[in-house]
Amino acid sequence: MLRLAVLAVLVAACSAVSVSEIRNPFIYHKALRGPVEGVVPCGSKGEVLEIRVTDCTSLPCDIKVGSTYTIEVDFIPSAGHEVLTVLVSVIRGGVENEIVHQDIPFVVAPGQGYTVSYPWTVTGQIDTGLLALRIQVKGNNGDVVELCGLATVNVSA
């Protein structure tokens, strides 16, 4: 479900992660992005509305080391939270390594729509080739998994 966020944060350091209400026209834009299809849900309580990634509409997304991508996920949380925790892991050869663990202080309410936005630059910290990514957005100190998705990316130098 959280397809775009999964791959976005997985390969790069997550700087300037933000959450906003969907109604905010500054955050909610689709320039050079369309909905990404093919993300596999892995136990979300929230509802994913749409995922967008720069230059990607289906998996695996082709990404290049040194390039910057914007990833946006529109969702409706199942519960209210004051802090959301973003976790991203890379899975290769059956081994999972967490690469992002970031708390985002932002109050969300159930039934309201929000956009999680990640501008990221792909770094050379990850091997090139086909990788699986798992991204989760949790609330209530990790007790509620609002978003969880598995996606594939093809990383090239």
CATH of the domain at 113: 2.60.40.770
* Residue 76, domain extent: 3-156
- Is residue 17 pLDDT above 60, yes or no? yes
> Comparing 40 with 4, which gets the higher pLDDT?
40
Q: For 33-151, where are the alpha helices, taking DSSP H only?
A: none
Looking at the structure of the chain, the number of domains it has is 1
Give the Cα-Cα-Cα angle 86, 88, 93 (nearest 5 degrees): 165
Q: What is the DSSP letter of 39?
A: P
Q: Does the predicted model carry a pTM greater than 0.85? A: no
Edge to edge, the sheet with strand 18-21 lists 18-21, 114-121, 68-76, 47-54, 33-35
First-last CA distance in the chain = 27
**Where does the pLDDT of residue 34 fall: very low under 50, low under 70, confident under 90, or very high at 90 and above?**
low
The model's pLDDT over 70-127, given as tens digits with 9 standing for 90+, comes to: 878 888 999 999 999 988 888 988 899 887 788 988 899 999 998 888 777 777 776 7
